[in-house]
Amino acid sequence: MLSIDPATTEDATAIWGFLQRFATSYAPSREAFGRNYPRLLEGEDSDILVARRSGIAVGYLLAHRSLTLFAGGPILEIIELYVDEAHRGEGIGRALVQAVLDRAWAAGCVEAVVPTRRAEEFYEALGFQPSATYLKLRLLGGGESD
């Protein structure tokens, strides 16, 4: 049985494991994770959702809601989404995105965006459409860049 719930402090170890496999162009720091994960759990405009099969974590999603002027309301930005390799193709990614969209629309969001083309076909299967590409500037010495 699949469940999708807001993450808790008990999910930190599982999410840290997923993060290391999600972040292909970055080398996540355990120290930074330990500092930032609790802040995200408390953030009013952030969602970290965990997918569980029979109680075992099999994927997670991190997204933020940002109030905009141009879109006429908050937009949802899906920042991280990862499903355990052994459970791909079972509808877990779709269920995580649907759950965060349900929360976003209920919170008044008017749009959802994904700042990457990494899983373009997956998102297109969910109804997302290609839009602008991004520009990025990283703090010097802040790690490897895409």
Tokens 């170890």 belong to residue? 13
Query: Interface residues with ligand COA (CB under 6 A)?
Result: 22, 80-83, 88-94, 114, 116, 118-119, 121-122, 125
Q: Dihedral sign for Cα 71, 138, 61, 10, please.
A: negative
- Backbone region of residue 114 per phi and psi (left: phi > 0; alpha: psi in -120 to 50; beta: other values): beta
Supply the minimum distance, in Å, between the C-beta of residue 50 and ligand COA. 13
The nearest distance, CB 97 to ligand COA, in angstroms, is 8
Our CB check for ligand COA shows the closer of 31 and 88 to be: 88
Residue 13 DSSP one-character state: H
Q: For residue 141, give every residue at least 6 positions away whose Cβ sits within 8 Å of its Cβ, in sequence order, or none.
A: none
CB nearer to ligand COA: pick between 76 and 140: 76
Under 8 Å CB-to-CB from 85, ≥6 apart: which residues? 21
Instruction: Please report how close the Cβ of residue 9 comes to ligand COA at its closest, in angstroms.
Output: 23
In this complex, which beta carbon is closest to ligand COA, that of residue 10 or of residue 121?
Answer: 121
Which residue, 72 or 131, has its beta carbon nearer to ligand COA? 131
Residue 16 beta carbon to ligand COA: minimum distance, rounded to whole angstroms: 15
Shortest Å distance, C-beta 17 to ligand COA = 13
Q: Residues 6 or more apart from 119 whose CB is under 8 A from it?
A: 81, 93
Judged by beta carbon, residue 38 or residue 115, the one nearer ligand COA is 115
* Number of other residues whose CB lies within 10 A of the CB of residue 143: 12
Q: Which residue is nearest to ligand COA (CB)?
A: 93
